[in-house]
């Protein structure tokens, strides 16, 4: 890891457990992201950014997650919003918003889980045409940093099944941000549900659509965002395991070495995939994600076992890391990711399409 990124990890790690305990917005940690130039990582150069290639992006996300997974969640959701803006076809929108976002003059996030992994009956965000714009009604079930956002990039479904992607300023009449959720971990990410009642979106705020799949055109590295975050957390868990193993018996030491070997293998696989993305090649993103999930669960159990009683204390880093590992079982977890993850741990063959139809 580059010295600057290594220092960023250390700076964030010193603050992570305190913010985990308080659940407060991590102002000091956010300042370290600003100093490191992280807000420019996904912004194209013509708007003041540096738009890292996939390998460099994985390296950056890994470093942030190794220090603070909450900060990585905040950064990645903000980056997702920036990527949607950067990939839209409206030059006026990009010229105005991206330079401000690059300098962190504004805060944004995404609220699209209602179109991806949180499709709860009756809770979808719906849109209907209204003049040149749209009226939105419904809920964004999961918006990280919602209370800190100037606007949220969201997706909504039309009656005919088409979708729109739009920017929703948080000052709009009818938009309500719920208090931050009480979570198993990552409360300092200030993640909330956002409700919209008859919220009017003018044409100047529409990024895409109506079209069949407004979310399909995204940056290549998107497919590795969660895996990169998991890799960073895995590195933090490995560091804890190695520290505890220094005074362990030979039997435990051998098991710690096995854990490190598993971590190294998954890390190499992710960086190989990032290299393939840089060359515009396809990658087995589901298989990689499942491998990350499995690695994190094994490392979480291993870390807790090595930490013994101290790992069960709420204010210790070891306990925080174990709780954060659980997040990957639900973060952008599609049905196939969840099923394949469970099949690994239940030692049950994953059902193929033929057996499901039988």
Contact 152, 143 (CB under 8 A): yes
Domain count, the chain: 3
Tell whether 353 is covered by a domain.
no
* Residue finishing a domain among 76, 102, 128: 102
- CB count within 10 Å of CB 129 equals 12
- Which segments of the chain are extended strands (E)? 108-111, 126-130, 133-143, 151-157, 163-169, 175-177, 192-201, 206-211
Tens place of pLDDT for every residue, the chain, 358 residues? 689 999 999 999 999 999 999 999 999 999 999 999 999 999 999 999 999 999 999 999 999 999 999 999 999 999 999 999 999 989 999 999 999 999 999 999 999 988 876 555 444 899 999 988 999 999 999 999 999 999 999 999 998 888 999 999 999 999 999 999 999 999 999 999 999 999 999 999 999 988 888 787 655 557 799 999 999 999 999 999 998 888 878 888 888 899 999 999 999 999 999 999 888 788 899 999 999 999 999 999 999 998 888 788 888 889 999 999 999 999 988 888 999 999 988 888 876 644 434 3
The CATH number assigned to the domain holding 269 equals 1.20.140.10
Q: How much is the CA Rg of the chain, to the nearest whole Å?
A: 21
**CA torsion sign, 278 to 284 to 289 to 294?**
negative
Do 131 and 199 reside in the same domain of the chain? Answer: yes
pTM above 0.85, yes or no: yes
Answer yes or no: is 358 within a domain. Answer: no
In the DSSP assignment, the letter for residue 174 is: T
Residues 114 and 84 in one domain: no
**Is the distance from CB of 136 to CB of 125 less than 8 angstroms?**
yes
Amino acid 121: pLDDT: 46
Q: What is the pLDDT of residue 315?
A: 83
Q: Which domain holds residue 113?
A: 108-211
The CATH number of residue 42's host domain is: 1.10.540.10
Check whether residue 294 and residue 233 sit in a common domain. yes
The DSSP secondary structure of 77-141, one letter per residue, reads: HHHHHHHHHHTSS-HHHHHHHHHHHHTTSS-EEEE-GGGTT---TT---EEEEETTEEEEEEEEE
DSSP bridge pairs for 109 = 152
pLDDT given at position 347: 83
Residue in 172, 171, 188 with CA at minimum distance from that of residue 180 = 188
Residue 221 has what pLDDT? 54
With tokens 């039988």, the residue in question is 358
Strand partners, 308: none
The alpha carbon torsion through 36, 40, 42, 45 (nearest 10 deg) reads -130
pLDDT of residue 334: 85
Decide: 1 and 40 in contact? Cβ < 8 Å.
no
Q: Are 144 and 109 in contact (CB under 8 A)?
A: yes
Burial pattern 195-231, b for ≥16 Cβ within 10 A else e, equals bbeebebeeebbbbbbeeebbeeebbbbbbbbbbbbb
pLDDT of the residue at 217: 62
CATH classification of the domain holding 142:
2.40.110.10
């Amino acid at each position: 890891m580059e010295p600057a990124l290594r220092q960023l990890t250390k700076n964030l790690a010193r603050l992570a457990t305190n913010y985990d305990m308080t659940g407060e917005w991590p102002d000091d940690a956010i300042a370290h992201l600003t100093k490191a130039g992280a807000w420019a990582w996904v912004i194209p150069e013509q708007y003041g950014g540096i738009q890292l290639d996939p390998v460099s992006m994985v390296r950056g996300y890994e470093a942030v997650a190794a220090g603070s997974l909450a900060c990585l969640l905040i950064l990645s959701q903000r980056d997702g919003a920036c990527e949607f803006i950067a990939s839209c076809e409206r030059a006026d929108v990009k010229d105005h918003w991206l330079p401000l976002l690059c300098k962190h003059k504004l805060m944004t996030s995404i609220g699209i889980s209602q179109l991806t992994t949180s499709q709860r009956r009756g809770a979808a965000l719906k849109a209907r045409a209204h003049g040149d714009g749209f009226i939105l009604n419904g809920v964004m079930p999961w918006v990280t940093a919602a209370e800190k956002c100037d606007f949220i990039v969201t997706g909504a479904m039309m009656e005919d099944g088409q979708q729109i992607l739009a920017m929703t300023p948080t000052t709009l009449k009818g938009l309500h941000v719920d208090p931050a959720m009480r979570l198993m971990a990552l409360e300092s990410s200030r993640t909330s549900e956002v409700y919209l009642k008859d919220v009017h979106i003018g044409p100047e705020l529409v990024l895409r659509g109506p079209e069949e799949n407004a979310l399909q055109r995204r940056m290549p590295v998107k497919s590795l965002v969660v895996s990169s975050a998991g890799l960073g957390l895995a590195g933090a868990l490995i560091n804890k395991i190695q520290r505890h193993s220094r005074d362990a018996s030979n039997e435990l030491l051998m098991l710690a070495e096995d854990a490190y070997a598993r971590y190294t293998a998954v890390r190499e696989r992710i960086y190989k995939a990032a290299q393939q993305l840089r060359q515009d090649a396809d990658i087995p993103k589901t298989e990689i994600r499942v491998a990350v999930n499995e690695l994190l669960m094994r490392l979480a159990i291993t870390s807790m076992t090595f930490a013994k009683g101290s790992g069960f204390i709420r204010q210790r880093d070891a306990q925080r890391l174990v709780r954060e590992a659980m997040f990957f079982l639900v973060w952008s977890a599609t049905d196939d990711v969840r099923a394949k993850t469970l099949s690994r741990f239940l030692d049950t063959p994953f059902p193929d399409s033929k057996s499901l139809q039988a």
